[in-house]
Amino acid sequence: MKAIILVGGEGLRLRPLTCNLPKPMVPIVNRPFLEHMVEHLKRHGIDEIVLAICYLPDLIQRHFGDGSGFGVKLSYAVEPTPLGTGGAVKNSERFLNDTFLVFNGDIFSDLDLTEMIMFHRAHKAKVTIALTPVEDPTAYGVVELDSRSRVKGFIEKPSRDKVTSNLINAGIYVIEPEMLELIPAGHHSMLERGLFPDLVKRGIPFYGYQSHAYWLDTGKPSDYLKLHHDLLMGKAFSRLPGKQMADNIRVEGRCKIHPSAKLIGPIVMGRGCIIGEHAEITGPTVMGSGCIAGQGSILDEAILWQNVKLGKNVTVINSVIGNNTTVKDNARVTDGSIISDNVIIGRGNKLEHGIKVWAGKTIEDNAISF
């Protein structure tokens, strides 16, 4: 069976993390998001994958190539302009000749794909949609089922008084190839607003597969942080990089850690990191390769990308700092703040309460306090 991963979007909700990277390449525990998805498919025997791409496609193609380095066979369906979920699937039609899976590229899940495919076949479905329960379904598309798990309708972002179920579209589908005939070619279209309502209207066998597997829409920076927390705390399954150095501390290569530094896992550290005298690092924290935590620095629930340089007595709490960024002495980055690539944060600045700093910006010493 083949799979299509829909990774054509610009990741606007994740800005400024996606200023210089397509969303599939944003690192999740020091590996591109898309690597985790490919690995999940491979675990279930699905090793022929079509990537439906549009935004910065060259970066994705250069990293993954033909997929052989990742144990899969990759093909690319490049969209000249964004075609939507339905249009992207239709644009991949030339690669499809049998039952196939579709993955929304915003979703991180360890759903049992093998079991879902068995459900699809047992019900002789033409399309099966994965469903996941959420506490507040008003922000999503709620899927209504009958007593046999057949889909009978959708309610997009219903008001609280109209919520009939807590089951929402999980963004994972099993589809029979003949259903592609119902999607218009060369036009922007959405599966959720086009094909799926059409299936219900026509009475075509369309079923909902309910799952309590881990599921997270990673579109927002707060959810990006939450995913790291959940992976490092073992709430979701994915292979973590590096080797176990100590209790809940994984290191990908040689690092220099001062004997006076205090490390409390879970922590993942890329190769070439330097941890200075009396620095304190508390997990869940991830440091990309080439990061430096200066003397007296404090990291707690922090996500650092590659080559981040922290000066003396820098504090980073529950925040993300992008590639090649420098945070100078006595600065603070806390409370869900998001700092993009190639930023310079001067001494003594306090960036708090979810502030966002775009790529390439320089903040002078003692210039900002939020």
Quote the pTM value.
0.91
The CA distances from residue 333 to 85, 204, 300, in Å, are 36, 53, 11
Nearest by Cα to 10 from 20, 274, 1: 20
Class of domain 2-232: alpha beta
Domain ranges of the chain: 2-232, 243-363
**337 in helix, strand or coil?**
coil
Largest Cα–Cα distance in the chain? 69
pLDDT in tens, 168-206: 999 999 999 999 999 988 889 999 888 998 999 999 999
**CA geometry: angle at 278 spanning 277 and 281, to 5°?**
110
pLDDT band at 57 (very low <50, low <70, confident <90, very high): confident
Count of positions (residues) in the chain: 370
pLDDT in tens, 290-347: 999 999 999 999 999 999 999 999 999 999 999 999 999 999 999 999 999 999 999 9
Return the pLDDT at 335.
Answer: 94
Q: Would 2-232 and 243-363 be classified into the same CATH topology?
A: no
Q: At what angle do helices 33-43 and 57-64 cross, to 10 degrees?
A: 50
Residue recorded with tokens 């985790």: 36
Residue 234 CB partners (closer than 8 Å, separation 6+): none
Architecture of domain 243-363: 3 Solenoid (2.160)
